[in-house]
Amino acid sequence: MTATRIEAWTGQQFAVRVQECMHIYVRAMHYPESAGVHRAVSARKHTDHEGFACRAAIADDGTLVGFGYGYTTRPGQWWHDLVRRALDRDTARDWLHDAFELSELHVLPSRQRQGIGQRLLTSLADGIPHANMLLSTPDADTRAFRMYRRQGFVDLTRNYLFPGDSRPFAVLGARLPLADGD
Ligand SMILES: CC(C)(COP(=O)(O)OP(=O)(O)OC[C@H]1O[C@@H](n2cnc3c(N)ncnc32)[C@H](O)[C@@H]1OP(=O)(O)O)[C@@H](O)C(=O)NCCC(=O)NCCS
């Protein structure tokens, strides 16, 4: 097995390599290539968001094998406004302030099950100043869901349908720092 290092990337570094990131995104999610083209447009815009933070997993030959990024969640953002409406008032008040939305986290399928996803997640969590980390993930027994549970993420709401996607999602949250998931 080759060694993999985790790098902190600025928004500019991410934007330069966004096509490589989208290559990983479509493979990890089993989406058509075209989904990556569309997603690249919004991903570039996300680099302007306050609190943007990104980590990249780089193999020893320089190949990008995984990435994760997010930013401070704020009213007016698509995900924030939908999630706020989906949560009961107390849960929204408790979780949606001082919170980082983990927007994307993906590892190339051939490099999964080597601890890279967990290293990306914990490196991001360790490097941000927020009190809470939030995310949405397909509501099923997936590798991603299990990883978030191991890291202490709890349910904010389950079986939520985002507009334009027929799959139910779980919205999960964790207080930072993350629990030790080992
Ligand atoms: C979710 C995802 C980012 C996790 O990345 P990963 O690198 O596979 O994560 P890890 O290696 O840290 O953990 C995955 C599994 O490998 C196991 N594992 C970790 N290191 C291992 C090792 N050295 N040897 C064997 N197994 C190992 C973990 O225990 C875990 O097992 P589980 O699936 O039975 O729970 C990745 O699987 C992915 O890209 N999935 C598709 C896209 C996706 O769902 N992204 C998240 C959207 S919200």
What's the CATH number where 49 sits? 3.40.630.30
Query: Ligand 1 test: best mutation among 122, 143, 146, 171, most atoms within 8 Å of CB?
Result: 143
Instruction: Find out whether the beta carbon of 105 lies less than 6 Å from any atom of ligand 1.
Output: yes
Q: What residue numbers bound the domain in which 157 lies?
A: 4-175
Dmax (CA) for the chain in angstroms is 49
pTM: 0.97
Name the residues annotated as catalytic.
148
Closest by CA position to 128, among listed 181, 58, 52, 15:
52
pLDDT at 179: 87
Say which residue the tokens 């290293």 belong to.
119
Please count the CA atoms within 13 angstroms of the CA of 170 that sit on its side-chain side.
17
Alpha helices in the chain (DSSP H): 11-16, 18-29, 33-46, 78-86, 89-95, 116-127, 143-150
Backbone angles phi, psi at 124, to 5 degrees: -60, -50
Distance of alpha carbon 114 from alpha carbon 9, whole angstroms:
21
**Quick check: is 180 in a domain?**
no
pLDDT at 37: 95
pLDDT at 180: 75
**Quick check: is 181 in a domain?**
no
- Could you give the number of structural domains in the chain? 1
pLDDT at 181: 66
Say which residue the tokens 């990104």 belong to.
54
Ligand 1 centroid – CA 173 distance (Å): 19
Query: Ligand 1 test: best mutation among 2, 102, 114, 135, most atoms within 8 Å of CB?
Result: 114
Ligand 1 centroid – CA 106 distance (Å): 9
**Quick check: is 182 in a domain?**
no
132 close to 100: Cβ distance less than 8 angstroms: yes
Low-confidence ranges of the chain (pLDDT < 50): none
Distance of alpha carbon 76 from alpha carbon 78, whole angstroms:
6
